[in-house]
Structure formats: C-alpha cells, structure tokens
Structure 1
C-alpha cells in the first residue's frame, strides 16, 4: 500500500475571473473566501495549476464533480452541460500535462459525479443517488482495479456522498451527526473492506473536510461552532480552518474547489 496516500504535489483550480452574478451566493464574499482557499493550498506545499476557460466565477471553480483523480489515473465523467464540457476539456488537457493517465466514461448508461465518489486511501465508495448510478460505480471500479469499489445507496432525497462524509486523516472518516449521514456511515461500515476511525461532527456542513499533506482543513468557528470544538478536542495533528459559507452554497463544500494531484 502506498504510504503517501494523501500526499499531493499539485492542486488544479479554477482561475479567478470576473464575477458571475448569482442569487445563490454573495459573489464578493465567495471571491474573498476562494482567495483564502487558494492561499492555504499554496501554504500546504501544493503548486497551484489554474484552468483557463471562458467561464465566470464561481461556475469555473467547482471542479470536484468533473474528475476523479487517484494514483496517476484520472476518470472523466460525461459532461451534463456545455459549461461542464468546456471545463472537462480543460481538466483533461491540464492533467495530461501533469503526467496523469486519462480515462473517459464511455458507458452511455453511466451517471457519475465526483462528489459521490469517496476515496479513503484504501478503497472507493460511490454514493448511488439521482446523480450517480451503479453503472457509474462500475466505471470507477474499472478505472481503478487495484482498489475495492463499493456502491452505497443514499436515502431518497439525500445529496452527494461527500456532503455527509469525507476523509479527515489517515484512516479517519469525518461524518455528520444527522440521521442521513449516520445511515450512510452504517452502510459504509457494513460494506467496507478496511476499518476506520470515525469523527462525528454535530453540523453536517462540517463533515466536508480536506486532508492534504498531513493537514486537516475544516470550516471556521463562526460557521460550525459546535463542530469546531470537536475538531479542537479530537484532532491531534495539524489543522487549518477557513470560511467557506458562500462557496458552500453552490457546492458540496471544501473538497469541491480543487483536484488534488501527485505528479509522478
């Protein structure tokens, strides 16, 4: 097993561009939060690689759904819109330049988005919902045959898998305390090929973390006051916190705005 399972050299990110006026988020606050996000990634020894597209912020920075990147392999789902198609082309070109092998989902029946795909460092889980199906999970299994891949059915109306559970450390999963999140965790524990520690946070919006190069990134105290206490009490390695409230309104959370890559 690769002992550098959560160590990365690059973060592929969207380029800061003129604002798209949206009623879902305050664009100026979202821009400030995104700038802080990029700065933090740089501080964690990641080289930022910007995607050049004609899309506007924040549409051009939500990348997670458009590529699954793991151990030098990239799986690209089928685009669901013209704007996604443009981003996927830019992602494909950029990741090839970073020495990654690109595979495209070719099954016409497959539905797959990256925010339904959780890689623990040892195995994949794919949330089965309106956005990803069993054929999509099969595409993940075929692209990464060295890792077990388990489809996990989400409850009706439940959002993407990574809204409820993400990796928060080596063999540590962070999960929300809601009924939906706990049901997902139980299903995963029943099907998992490996054992994990779990960190349960009171607010579901705190469950989406990033674990990068030995550091856990989670949301700021003003956004997740109860969960922030849990992170302080339970995490005994490096932590950083940032505000992400506006960007979270248009994405699954912290994991949504970068593609983490280890260049060979």
Structure 2
C-alpha cells in the first residue's frame, strides 16, 4: 500500500467520496477562468499526487520539473512532466532538477507575483533547490527580482500555506504567527511594493487568482467555510478590482485534512 506524507491530525478521517465531489467542484471552478484544463489521471501508487503544484514551477515561459523534498513524492514528477510537456510544447524552456544532485524544491514554496519571484526555504525546499530555480529563471529573465524567504524556523509546510498573490500589487497573508513570521522575512523593499491584506484563518490566505492581462482580474477562487476571511477577500476584490469580479467559494475540508490548499491541486501556465 502506498503511504501518504500528510501530517494533518485529521488525515486518517478523509472521506473519499466527499473528496471526489470537492475535486469535481474545483475542476468546475477552473473551467470558469481557464480556457484549457488538462486532467491528469490518478495514480494509486502516489496518494499525494493530487497536489500537482509541487511537481513543477512555471515562471513566464520557464518551466522547471522539481525534485520534491519528500522522497515518497518524487515518483509523481515523471507522469506530470509528460502532461506538462504536451501543454507547453515548444512555447517554453524546460528544466529538470532530477540531475541536479541534492537540490530539492516543492512548487508550494514558490510564489511568482509578476513582480517578484519568492522562494521559501522549508523542510521540502533547500537552498540548492532555490538556487537551481533562480538560475533557470534568470537564464531567460535576468532582470527579475528573486527573493529567498527562509521559513525553516517555523512549522508550516510551504510558503503558500501563509501567503498568496491576489494580483501583482496585492498579497494575502494569514494573520497568525507563521504568516507574520513569513512577512517579517521579506525585505522592506519587497513589502513596500505591495498592499498587504491579512486574513485570520491560515487556510483562507491561499487563493487562486486569475489575471486578465491588463492589471485586473477575471476572477478569484477562495476557500469557503471561513466567513470572516471570506468577507475580507470579497471586500478587497470588489474595492480594488471591481464589484463584477467573481469570487468563487469552494468548501474543501477533505483536502484541508490532507494538508492541501487551493493552489496545490493545479498548475497554471501562460501559453
């Protein structure tokens, strides 16, 4: 039997049928904002394989196949690489970390805001992995600002467990000790480049935002079930981007039990 790497205290109480229904709702939400959604078949050998974000990082036209920090997850990368290559084709530059020795990286530790590339150091991403990604990206975007955020002194799994980008000008942080810690690790020059929005529930700080290519938003997918945070996200989106911008709420409790956030289950590419 395959073993999951999850550490959530409710991990053994996941209700599979509910998880499938929640994943179907997630897929439906993506179809509202993404013209081409590719579904990769499940693999029973890799129970964490739903969290495809950790297997690849895309920054502009640069795509990096990662070497996940937990060895049980490394078998997830080859089938995802096959699917990613079909999507990216000849439109991008593809790098593979598998030949980079002790360089480990999870995609959940990488946040590209459009202005900065933030790379979290964690139990799953080491300095060599961060350096590999920085070199790959700067081969093609030498002027991009890359910032390494050392999170190893606090217990959260990934950088995007506590911060995501609503746009290239707005960052959404969890208003708790891990979120405040991550915020404090950012240089002042980076913090001052954004409007910072704080939400009280950590899982609600992870959103999927879909830019319209003109500085606005096509829409946002946010975690449901957290009314205070939902209200904050609704108000920020309406005020900054327009009342007509939809905010889709998804209740994903079975994925939360599996240490999963909204960004975990998809890879977004500009092709």
* TM, length-normalised to structure 1: 0.83
User: For 1:45 and 1:151, how far apart are their aligned partners in 2?
Assistant: 29
Q: How does 1:73-88 map to 2 (within 5 A)?
A: 73-79=62-68, 80-81=70-71, 84-85=74-75, 87-88=76-77
Task: Indicate whether 1:92 and 2:96 are aligned.
Answer: no
Alignment equivalent of 2:100, drawn from 107, 115, 121: 107
SS at match of 1:260: coil
Task: Indicate whether 1:246 and 2:254 are aligned.
Answer: yes
User: For 2:42 and 2:23, how far apart are their aligned partners in 1?
Assistant: 17
Task: Indicate whether 1:131 and 2:131 are aligned.
Answer: no
Q: Given the superposition, is the C-alpha separation of residues 149 and 198 from structure 1 closer, same or farther in structure 2, using an over 3 Å criterion? A: same
Shift of 1:52: 3.4
Shift of 1:254: 0.2
Shift of 1:66: 0.8
User: For 2:202 and 2:130, how far apart are their aligned partners in 1?
Assistant: 24
Task: Indicate whether 1:257 and 2:255 are aligned.
Answer: no
Greater length-normalized contact order (CA 8 Å, ≥ 6 residues apart): 1
Aligned to 2:207: 209
Shift of 1:144: 0.6
The one-character-per-residue Cα deviations of 1:213-238 (angstroms, maximum 9, x if unpaired) are 42121111xx2111112122222232
Segments of structure 2 that go 5 or more residues without pairing to the other structure are 1-10, 212-216
Q: Given the superposition, is the C-alpha separation of residues 95 and 69 from structure 1 closer, same or farther in structure 2, using an over 3 Å criterion? A: same
Q: Given the superposition, is the C-alpha separation of residues 191 and 180 from structure 1 closer, same or farther in structure 2, using an over 3 Å criterion? A: farther
SS at match of 1:23: helix
Segments of structure 1 that go 5 or more residues without pairing to the other structure are 1-21
SS at match of 1:59: coil
Q: How does 1:107-186 map to 2 (within 5 A)?
A: 107-145=100-138, 146=141, 147-154=144-151, 155-186=153-184
Aligned to 2:223: 219
Shift of 1:59: 3.2
* TM, length-normalised to structure 2: 0.81
Shift of 1:84: 3.5
Contact preservation (8 Å) 1:158, 1:180: yes
User: For 1:27 and 1:224, how far apart are their aligned partners in 2?
Assistant: 22
Shift of 1:56: 6.8
Contact preservation (8 Å) 2:110, 2:119: yes
Query: Structure 1 residues 44-53 or 176-185, which shifts more?
Result: 44-53
Task: Indicate whether 1:52 and 2:41 are aligned.
Answer: yes
Contact preservation (8 Å) 2:60, 2:270: yes
